[in-house]
Chain A
């Protein structure tokens, strides 16, 4: 698989270098547009050369697809937590763990919004939490509680004994006043309709 990856990378590098060279040659006036059109005309005039060009196009598309799939597949595979049972392998998508953590926001009323980002490393699982708090929250208390709850929930649901590191970033603190303002603003912004009061009983 590694061999094909190297071939794919070299192939793309070669294509991009070739395109770059064509641009440079064109910019330096070393290549006339008439030369290009005569070359294209030559290809089109002969059935064999047309066939070769068409097949090369199909081959290029196929190579691009397989290469893209290889890269995307690799990225998808890395984003999981895996363990093996007697019947086979179980992989848990990190996005599933993120879904799980998002549910915790409902448990703590002081949390307005919670955006988790989970990374699985050799050391363990690193959870980055970006939170928006309500103003009445005591931050040290709340963050400690949040870390504890998140850690326990992950251990309970995933059943893993690996180290779980939870980092919290308080992104915003909103007050009830802000909320009230937002509610009032739309009322203020309503435009006065001219003659709106007439003909209404």
Chain B
């Protein structure tokens, strides 16, 4: 559930997958045209239980400490989907690299729906 972590003089630093999911979620929401983060059955159940909607964001970290993130999105009506998806990918990559120093391999966007508002 965590990265291998980096070693400092004082100890090791590990980053939990939920942290990566959280950063990705916040970075995605920042983009104009993103209505909300999409969901799956598990995330709906967790949301009903009062947990944050992070289960829908799938994070994978391979042996080389490369991160792969799958972000489901609901886009606002009237926005160009490829443009919004591109901006989200860029923003998520920048946010992850800036905050975690991890190298980001893939950011896969899946557009689940379109909503007005």
Question: Which A residue sits closest to B82, measured CB to CB?
Answer: A159
**Does B112 have its Cβ within 8 Å of any Cβ on chain A?**
yes
Q: Is the CB of B106 within 8 A of A103?
A: no
With A80-B110, A87-B107, A103-B116 given, is the CB distance from A92 to B81 under 8 Å? yes
Within 8 A of B (CB), among A136-165: 156-159
Q: Is the CB of B108 within 8 A of A89?
A: yes
Please tell me which one of the listed residues A95, A99, A103, A159 contacts residue B83 in the complex, with CB atoms under 8 A apart. A159
Q: Is the CB of B90 within 8 A of A87?
A: yes
Of B74, B82, B104, the most chain A CB neighbours within 10 A belong to B82
**Does A59 have its Cβ within 8 Å of any Cβ on chain B?**
no
Question: Which B residue sits closest to A87, measured CB to CB?
Answer: B89
The docked-state distance in angstroms from the alpha carbon of A6 to that of B75 is: 38
Interface string of A85-103 (1 = CB under 8 A from B): 1011111110110011001
Q: Is the CB of A99 within 8 A of B114?
A: yes
Q: Is the CB of A93 within 8 A of B110?
A: yes
The docked-state distance in angstroms from the alpha carbon of A83 to that of B82 is: 9
The docked-state distance in angstroms from the alpha carbon of A157 to that of B33 is: 12
The docked-state distance in angstroms from the alpha carbon of A89 to that of B71 is: 10
Q: Is the CB of B108 within 8 A of A90?
A: yes
With A87-B93, A88-B106 given, is the CB distance from A93 to B111 under 8 Å? yes
Please tell me which one of the listed residues B77, B85, B104, B112 contacts residue A90 in the complex, with CB atoms under 8 A apart. B85
Q: Is the CB of A159 within 8 A of B108?
A: no
Question: Which B residue sits closest to A95, measured CB to CB?
Answer: B113
Question: How many residue-residue contacts, CB under 8 A, span A and B?
Answer: 70
Q: Looking at chain A, what size class is its interface with the partner chain? A: 10 to 19
Q: Is the CB of B85 within 8 A of A156?
A: no
Interface string of B34-51 (1 = CB under 8 A from A): 000000000000000000
Q: Is the CB of B77 within 8 A of A85?
A: no
The docked-state distance in angstroms from the alpha carbon of A89 to that of B89 is: 9
The docked-state distance in angstroms from the alpha carbon of A147 to that of B95 is: 41
User: Which residues of chain A are near B100, meaning CB under 8 Å?
Assistant: none
**Distance of A164 from chain B, by nearest CB (Å):** 15
With A158-B81, A159-B81, A159-B83 given, is the CB distance from A99 to B113 under 8 Å? yes
Q: Is the CB of B106 within 8 A of A90?
A: no
Interface string of B73-108 (1 = CB under 8 A from A): 011010111110110011001000000000010111
**Distance of A81 from chain B, by nearest CB (Å):** 9
Question: Which A residue sits closest to B116, measured CB to CB?
Answer: A103
Ordered nearest first, which 7 A-B pairs have the shortest CB separation? A87-B89, A88-B106, A159-B82, A99-B114, A92-B111, A90-B85, A88-B107
CB<8 Å pairs between A and B, sample of 15: A80-B110, A83-B82, A87-B104, A88-B108, A89-B106, A90-B81, A90-B82, A90-B89, A92-B81, A92-B110, A93-B110, A96-B114, A100-B77, A103-B114, A156-B80
Spell out A's residues near B (CB within 8 Å): 80, 83, 85, 87-93, 95-96, 99-100, 103, 156-159
